Amino acid sequence: MVSRVRSHIHSDLMPFQELFWRHFAARAIGLIVIPLIVYLSFFWIHFTILTHSGTGDSFMSPQFQESLAGNELLMNSIGKVCFFPVPPCIYNFF
C-alpha cells in the first residue's frame, strides 16, 4: 500500500518537475543567453568597423592611425623613400 502511495505521489510530481525545468530553461535562454548574444554582437560590429579610417581619426595618436585601413597617413607614406643626408649616428648622452 505504501509503495502505491509513493508511486502515485511520484507520478503526480513528474509533470510539475518537467514544467519547472522547461520554465527554467526558457528563462535562462531569455534572460541570459539572448542578452549575452546581443551584447557580444554589438562589440563584434564595433570592432569590425573600428579597423577602418573615419572622420574621428584626428583625435587618435599617429601610431593608432597608421594601423587603420584606408587612412591618409598610410596612403601618403606608401612608395616614398626616406633618405638621410648623413648616416645615422648613435650618440652617447651620458
| pLDDT the model gives residue 78 | 56
Alpha-carbon distance of 38 to 42, in angstroms, equals 6
**Residue 61 belongs to some domain of the structure:** yes
Q: Are residues 29 and 11 in the same domain?
A: yes
Q: Are residues 56 and 33 in the same domain?
A: no
Alpha-carbon distance of 37 to 40, in angstroms, equals 5
3-state secondary structure at position 66:
helix
**Residue 89 belongs to some domain of the structure:** no
Average pLDDT over residues 86-92: 60
With cell 502505491, the residue in question is 4
The secondary structure of the chain in percent helix, strand, coil, rounded to multiples of 5, reads: 70, 0, 30
**Residue 28 belongs to some domain of the structure:** yes
Give the number of other CB atoms < 10 A from CB of residue 68. 17
Give residue 36's domain range: 1-43
**Residue 11 belongs to some domain of the structure:** yes
Query: Into how many domains does the chain fold?
Result: 2
Average pLDDT over residues 4-14: 60
| pLDDT the model gives residue 58 | 77
Q: Are residues 26 and 7 in the same domain?
A: yes
Better-scored residue on pLDDT, 71 or 37: 37
Q: Model pTM?
A: 0.51
